[in-house]
Chains A and B, each alone.
Chain A
Amino acid sequence: MTLLWLLGILVAGGLLAWAAGRVAPVWARWVAVAALGADLVLVVVIWIRHYQGLTLLGAPAWLLEWQVPWIPRFGITFHLAADGLSLILVALTAFLGLLSVIASWTEVKARVGFFHFNLLWVLAGIMGVFLAMDLFLFYFFWELMLVPMYFLIGLWGHEKRIAAAFKFFLFTQAGGLAMLLSILALHFVHGRASGVYTFEYAALIGAPLGAAAPWIMLGFLLAFLVKTPGVPLHTWLPDAHAQAPTAGSVILAGLLLKTGAYGLIRFILPLSPESVRAFAPFGMAIGVAGILYGAKLAFAQSDLKRMVAYTSVSHMGFVLLGVFALDGMALQGVVLQIVCHGISTGALFIVAGAVQERLKTRDLGLMGGFWNEAPRLGGATLLFALASLGLPGLGNFAAEFLILFGTFRSAPVFAIVASLGLIASTIYALSLFQRIFHGTKPGAMRLEDIGAREVAVFLALALAIIWLGLYPQPVLNTSRTAVTGIGDTYRHSSPTPGQTKAAPVSRDLGVRVRGEAP
């Protein structure tokens, strides 16, 4: 029931914000803040309350669960459930959602109520994706988040917003429909074999699929690779990110891409180990290609937001690499990378938004030498640029380190090539900072420094990224039960199905849990 509240608050908050926006724009903002704040508090309370349970071995599969029949004709139930992985992502959703509302406090001036309605509904869709344990419901939320995002980009975006919004919608819808076919195929394959026609996650995932397995995997893969994004399905991303308003970019980069990564972990990996194992080298190749190609293109951009967008391609390449490394430790790294990338890239998009709001341009060629005028913004930019390049002590370092380390155990060549990406990221991250804040000013433009509101936003993000860099263990503990079981499927790589459900062994974590009984 608590899980339903998480969604219900956002859905109701969205409607309320729309109504409140008709009274006065500022009310819409406060309603949104209240709704997201309530969600954040709720999820933190859930997390704290269940934290002990999470770290126990052999903990129940779901910490929280809520299920009612929905469309009995198809065996569809409204089934929400959360394990550690879901919980982390839901917390990230509420956190980034709240900050994106605050960050765009002054940026959005037209149709403020409708803006926050869309914002809260896209967050509700994303949260639903992280919580749905019925495949129909999952698809329902997956599609549901597209429309509000389309409006966010198309209505409040920048100069080429229409084309960007179209591209975003068409790409993701194409992937989504491919997934729908796979879900239906799964439904019927399982139904014919067992006589039970259902969309229940637990029943369908891990069902014997026979010859259909590669095709079913392909449909899911298409949807998730478009979202993640995997090269060459990434072309919607730079346009959508660059044209969206700040809150839209933050949500796109910080959360929407993560639904793809989440799908890979939750659905692809347990679906059919044989097919996944066959695909893994290609998956890792796509990841490595994304890391290097994204970094190269990021460096070449003259548009600030496009630059940050391409760094996303690069960082999400690590996620793909880690997922298809099929290694427990790499998977832990992936979860951490999902969170850290959400925070660091979200922060960089807020920087970009702040710069654009003040200078009315995103052209890096027109910037430079703003350090003296805007030291606070400069400091924030520097911190998150360093996080982005993987400085030890900040979250991204821990995440990428775990991914590379885990990958090295299973596929050393890919790990070696991917580590070149760390050099490339140093180049683009430093160049990003340098082009805005160092050098001489090319024009007479002034960059006004950030005020208390934005400082608070950056402070929250900075605390989070430093915490994740210095002490990521709580996140790793939380996701461990959910993730290591999957990782173990592939660790003991003799493909006998009897061993696939081996109990998670803490030795495989590589990261010892302090104070934990061995």
Chain B
Amino acid sequence: MSSGDLLALAPLWIAAGSAIVLLLLISVRRHFGLCAGFSILAAAAGLASVFVIGRLAPRTVTVLFVVDGYALFFIGVFFAATLIIFLVASSYLPPSAERREEFFLAAFAALLGSSVLAASAHFVSFVLGLEILSVALYVLIAFPLERRESIEAGTKYLVLASASAAFLLFGGALIYGETGVLDFATWAAQAQELPLAKPLFILGVSLIVVGIGFKLAVVPFHIWTPDVYQGAPAPSAALVATISKGGMLAFLLRFFWTIGLRRFPSLVLVFSLIAAASMIAGNLLALRQNRVKRILAYSSISHLGYILVAFLAGGAAGLEAAAFYLVAYIITMTAAFGSVALLSSADADADLLEDFRGVFWTRPGTAAVMTLAMLSLAGIPLTAGFLGKFYVASAGVGASLWALVVILVATSVIGLYYYLRVLTAMYARPHEGTAEAARPQGPRRGARTAGGIALVLLVLLLFWLGVFPTGLIDAIRTTAAALAGAIGPPGTGGGLP
């Protein structure tokens, strides 16, 4: 391992190192401001490092990692998302919580896991990344704010995530039995040579799909999602919704680009069904929810369904669309959970639609951010979500996936209904005096600053991508080219035709 190799992994070192430094900081002296400040700076440094080492890419670091433009793009997105969630969390975590500094520690571990997933080229690094991510999320979801529902959610996630990891490991073992290796490039090469009827290989890939599906929370592996979103503290839920899903999606896109999804018609069918079911079930189940975090949970299920449409469209266009949508989705979800966090009190998260009643009149700024987030999720112009939806629909139409695109459009209309419900609650007149005064008003004013900065950043990003998307599109096209170039041009050997 040369020094260049070490340097190429800089973002991973930064994430891992920050976790250790935090560990030491906390054991020496427990100071929230210090920990939060350090974490924010470290996340920013990680983000900067991505740009610096961009020159080294593409580079294969041992057999485990490939640091190319594709991986760096997603790692950069995860660091940026984590940075913003840190800002939100430093406003959100109540001073009354005894061990709130550990939030940053666990979040860095989750960030490390997601980044490893984005860069993994080998089954071992994939499993390592996944487990680092999962273990961090157990802690984050059940984060010790002395809330029962958080513990319940964490336990649920622990049990189900372990089960799904078992599926995944068994799948990997089956493929290993068939091929005798664990790196994806060789799998891809062997998949080409193997007759398609080789049952163990396909069975193995299918079991890996179960594990992936669980992390992405797509139907039918979605059952945990609403409970976990509802129970987890808002910033943790944001991490689950963004970098956890993003890491797995980055892996999914690369994995199936490498081994060639089109070579397995049965898998194409399975993914089509998953996408359709996620769009339909996610949107329908969200209709009758009365809790905003549950609405966001079902909404995120449907959004992953949309992304799968782009994934199935394949080719460079599909890859671009999926990546663009993911970025738009991460920004939007972070904005939504950020608003929820800033509206929450020290005792409980703002969750019931009733909690949001009249927020526009009492907290117009935060309500405006939430409004934008809802409009972006619904895909209304001027927001990033609009162009994301356009991109995905365009990829779907371009690949003639008519059934999926029609489902996408029809379910988007259904989805609009529950986003409007959230808006309606926020814009309704608040109840007369008493209820308003009795309700806790979220974090203290001074503590809101960091979160406020985060929300302003998110709003700017939402508009920026909605109006001037060209910069991001160019970056993503370079990314897609990096992936295509490493494996071979799309449409031939390794690509998704």
Contacts and interface: CB of A to CB of B under 8 A. Distances in A.
Interface residues of B, number: 27
A177 B473 contact: no
Given A143-B386, A146-B380, A180 B413 contact: no
Contacts of B51: none
Given A169-B420, A173-B416, A144 B470 contact: no
Contacts of B21: none
Nearest to A162: B424
B413 A170 contact: yes
A166 interface: yes
B139 to A, nearest CB: 40
Given A71-B470, A73-B477, A140-B381, A184 B397 contact: yes
A55 B416 CA distance: 46
A178 B408 CA distance: 11
Interface in B128-152: none
Given A71-B470, A169-B416, A181 B409 contact: yes
B441 interface: no
B413 A177 contact: yes
Contact of A143 (B380, B397, B474): B380
Most buried by B among A73, A74, A154, A188: A73
Give the interface SS of chain A, mostly helix, strand, loop or mixed.
Answer: helix
B32 interface: no
Contact of A184 (B382, B393, B474): B393
Interface string A55-80: 00000000000000011111000000
Q: Which of B398, B406, B417 has the largest count of A CB atoms less than 10 A from its CB? A: B398
A170 B375 CA distance: 13
A144 B379 CA distance: 11
A77 to B, nearest CB: 12
Contact of A188 (B398, B423, B470): B398
B469 interface: yes
Contact of B375 (A70, A147, A155, A187): A147
Contacts of B390: 136, 180
A180 to B, nearest CB: 6
A174 B414 CA distance: 9
A70 B468 CA distance: 8
Interface in A182-212: 184-185, 187-188
Interface in B455-473: 469-470, 473
Contacts of A184: 393-394, 397-398
B477 to A, nearest CB: 7
A274 B335 CA distance: 48
Contacts of B413: 170, 173-174, 177
Contacts of B420: 150, 165-166, 169-170
Given A144-B381, A147-B380, A181 B397 contact: yes
Nearest to A137: B381
B249 to A, nearest CB: 21
Interface in A55-111: 70-74
A71 B471 CA distance: 10
A494 to B, nearest CB: 34
Contacts of B405: 181
B154 to A, nearest CB: 37
B394 A74 contact: yes
Interface in B39-91: none
A73 B416 CA distance: 28
Contact of B409 (A166, A177, A188): A177
A185 B399 CA distance: 11
Contact of B393 (A150, A166, A180): A180
Contacts of B300: none
B412 interface: yes
Interface in B307-346: none
Interface of B: 375, 380-382, 386-387, 390, 393-394, 397-398, 405-406, 409, 412-413, 416-417, 420, 423-424, 427, 469-470, 473-474, 477
Interface of A: 70-74, 136, 140-141, 143-144, 146-147, 150-151, 154-155, 162, 165-166, 169-170, 173-174, 177-178, 180-181, 184-185, 187-188
CB-CB nearest 4 A-B residue pairs: A184-B397, A177-B409, A174-B413, A144-B381
24 contacts: A71-B387, A71-B469, A140-B386, A143-B386, A144-B380, A147-B375, A154-B423, A154-B427, A165-B420, A165-B424, A166-B420, A166-B424, A170-B417, A170-B420, A173-B416, A177-B409, A180-B390, A180-B393, A180-B409, A181-B393, A184-B393, A185-B397, A187-B397, A188-B398
